[in-house]
Amino acid sequence: MKVLVVGFGQCGGRIADEFNQINNRAKSRRGIEIVSGAFAVNTDTADLTGLYSIKADYKHRILIGGERTKGHGVAKLNELGAEIAREDADKVIEAIRDVKHFYETDAILVIASAAGGTGSGAISVLVQRIKQRYIDKPIYAIIVLPFEHEEQTEERTIYNTAVCLKSIYSVANAVFLIDNQRFIRKDSTLRNNIIKINQLIVEPFYNLFCAGEEKRKKHIGTKVLDAGDIIQTLAGWTVMGYGKSELPLIKLPSILPKNFVKKSAETHKGIQTMEETISELSLRCNPGDATKALYLISAPTDEMNITLIKELGDSMKSIAPNAIIRSGDYPIERGYMDVVVILSQLREVEKVRKYYTESIGAAEEIKRKTDIVEDKVSETDKASNDLPTFI
Ligand SMILES: Nc1nc2c(ncn2[C@@H]2O[C@H](COP(=O)(O)OP(=O)(O)OP(=O)(O)O)[C@@H](O)[C@H]2O)c(=O)[nH]1
Ligand SMILES: [Mg+2]
């Protein structure tokens, strides 16, 4: 599957940058392309400058609202982010129009954090505009949810997140939910290592997108999972799971014929990886609520066998009994095995519902505080009514 990637705000831009890097890896190691174009859109010049791999010109690192923010961001005011996106939407539409192989693009992938200002406000406005322009391309959003400590300490976090989720859900074909907190629960040193978190967010897409683009004969799976399968699976609220097991780089030749014990050891490793995948979903949810799902196992050919693939299918069926399940296998180079799972069209997502209910109070509180500030300012002004002024 080949995607066009657009990241909004700091978080979205950095993750789009990471997608550009896995595309470089796919090109150099596998001779295939999985990203047809990568862009970062921001109101903040410094954030755009800090990226690594997205082309460093104004057509790929797109500054919006430059005059209004002087290139310094919107400081968490997502309504301002949305307004600027409306005004400067053409810059993004034009950049997409100039992508060389746009016709080969299967889908558009947009990314932002929900709690900030620029990305959170701009993403849905621009998705709506892109959709009007490119009717036949599905648009999938990756939305990064805030850390727990941000929910507790920063007032606008819950409110921004709720408004962003409601808006993007109404315009995107599917919304991948990625909970930042999930990554530090796994490894607390990651709190200070946002780049590493971004790599972990993007890694599952590498084999998922490569599998259907693969051209080297011995790397084509028995059951290829291609863009069609992914597009058929993605709808509405979506979560992902990913598990990876390291494998020896060199396989020692065995004197004995492959026996049952050996086969069952491989199967066991596969099932273990699958279990890890399900226990490490990008957001905690009930897999039973998924109505569509897919899984892809990628491993060196001799590490995959029919029993393993069958067992993975059975285990997936028991985890997501209400879902239509698609699947594939992808024979890759030596060194590791990984399993990607997508659970889509979830009928219920507790965390999203929680943002919605909690933000109702937050919206009132934000309005109350803004009103107090405005009242105070006008009272102070009133006190100067009888004075002359030089201006
Ligand atoms: N995973 C991840 N989360 C990030 C990253 N950068 C920021 N965040 C999270 O995103 C939220 C803040 O949003 P930003 O993307 O920084 O905000 P922005 O869209 O640039 O908007 P403003 O700076 O307010 O104009 C917080 O919840 C951060 O924890 C990143 O590179 N990776
Ligand atoms: Mg910013």
Kindly state the tokens that stand for 371.
Answer: 């009103």
Kindly state the tokens that stand for 265.
Answer: 């050891």
pLDDT score, position 385: 86
**DSSP helix, strand, coil percent of the chain (3-state; round to 5):** 55, 20, 25
Minimum CA distance residue for ligand 1 atom 29: 146
pLDDT score, position 185: 67
Strands (E), 136-213: 139-145, 174-179
DSSP 17-73: HHHHHHHHHIIIIIS---EEEEEEEESBHHHHHT-SSS-SSTTTEEE-SHHHHTTB-
Q: 102 alpha carbon to ligand 2 midpoint, in Å?
A: 28
**Please, what is the average pLDDT of the chain?**
90
Q: 314 alpha carbon to ligand 1 midpoint, in Å?
A: 39
Instruction: Report pTM.
Output: 0.91
DSSP three-state, residue 193: coil
Place of tokens 């879902």: 323
Q: Which numbered atom of ligand 1 lies nearest the CA of 121?
A: 19
Residues 6 or more apart whose CB falls under 8 angstroms from that of 97 comprise none
CB-proximal residues (5 Å) to ion ligand 2: 10, 44, 73
3 ligand 1 Cβ < 6 A: no
Q: 53 alpha carbon to ligand 2 midpoint, in Å?
A: 18
Per residue in 17-55, pLDDT (tens digit) is 999 999 999 999 999 999 999 999 999 999 999 999 999
pLDDT score, position 256: 44
pLDDT score, position 154: 79
pLDDT score, position 259: 52
pLDDT score, position 373: 66
Place of tokens 């209910």: 357
pLDDT score, position 356: 95
Residue ranges in the chain modelled with pLDDT below 70: 185-192, 249-264, 266, 373-374, 376-377
Residues 6 or more apart whose CB falls under 8 angstroms from that of 125 comprise 82, 85, 86, 89, 167
Minimum CA distance residue for ligand 1 atom 14: 116
pLDDT score, position 300: 93
Q: How far is CA 65 from CA 43, 128, 176, 327, in A?
A: 6, 18, 27, 43
pLDDT score, position 171: 97
